Amino acid sequence: MNPAIKQLLNQKVKQYNHIDFIEKDPISIPHLFTNQQDIEIAAFFAAIFAWGNRTTIIQKSKELLERMDNAPFEFCTQHQPKDLKKLAGFAHRTFKDTDLLYCIAFFKQHYAANKSLETAFFKDQKSGKSIKTVEAGLINFKNYFFSIDDAPHRTKKHIASPENGSTCKRLNMFLRWMVRKDQHGVDFGLWKAISPADLIIPIDVHVARVSRTFGLISRPQIDWLTALELTDYCRTLDARDPVKYDFALFSLGVTEKIR
């Protein structure tokens, strides 16, 4: 462990893990709500949309919420067929209204039997057994998410899984929002099935570039094993809260554009 790198990363966590971070980040979308189910659904869509320009991600998330009358949980669980017409033509990059309608169908079915989306990740729906790791939780979620008959094949590309070697960047970011909690008020800390210590760093090209610059990772590709390698390093800095370094690595790459 390089003491200078540790000092820099801790400094950047302190700088960016702050309430002011929320406004320009997709996490601002779930912060529009106070009801847990609204937070979960809004956070899910904001995370799934999170590739490309952050301003556009926020704008498209707000557009979707407006089409849902700014009541995502009520809309997903109590809509009538005619209400779905409001969603026609919605698109964000390759995410189309077909994908959106399937997500809503899943939420309606899931929340009919569950109070939280947490059980979609960390509970085996068939056996009822708890799931204790993020990797197993992500695999479980994708299998469960697409368990509805006639799930569109095209939608599957929007839900990543470690089984395919994906970094699962967007879902790991979603899990950070839901699981991690501290006194700074950015992440929500609503879910308790796993500990913040078990979370995996959301890694993309920006985080990977910064991590390689500092010698935190050695793998040439960006995949699930690279996410694990980076998380293992961050655990040497803080074993109880390794994913707090997402604030530092992401902001160094995107905001400060370090190279």
Q: Return the pLDDT at 117.
A: 98
The per-residue pLDDT string of the chain (259 residues; one tens digit each, 9 = 90 and over) reads: 688 999 999 999 999 999 999 999 999 999 999 999 999 999 999 999 998 899 999 999 999 999 999 999 999 999 999 999 999 999 999 999 999 999 999 999 999 999 999 999 999 998 999 999 999 999 999 999 999 999 999 999 999 999 999 999 999 999 999 999 999 999 999 999 999 999 999 999 999 999 999 999 999 999 999 999 999 999 999 999 999 999 999 999 987 776 6
Residue 151 tokens, joined: 């799930």
The span from the CA of 40 to the CA of 114, in Å, is: 13
Q: Three-state SS across the chain?
A: CCHHHHHHHHHHHHHHCCHHHCCCCHHHCHHHCCCHHHHHHHHHHHHHCCCCCHHHHHHHHHHHHHHCCCCHHHHHHHCCHHHHHHHCCCEECCEEHHHHHHHHHHHHHHHHHCCCCHHHHHECCCCCCECCCHHHHHHHHHHHHCCCCCCCHHHHHHCCCHHHCCCCHHHHHHHHHHHCCCCCCCCCCCCCCCCHHHCCCCCCHHHHHHHHHCCCCCCCCCCHHHHHHHHHHHHHHCCCCHHHHHHHHHHHHHCCCCC
Q: Return the pLDDT at 259.
A: 62
Q: Return the pLDDT at 78.
A: 98
Q: Return the pLDDT at 130.
A: 97
Total Cβ atoms within 10 A of residue 113: 8
Domain boundaries, the chain: 3-254
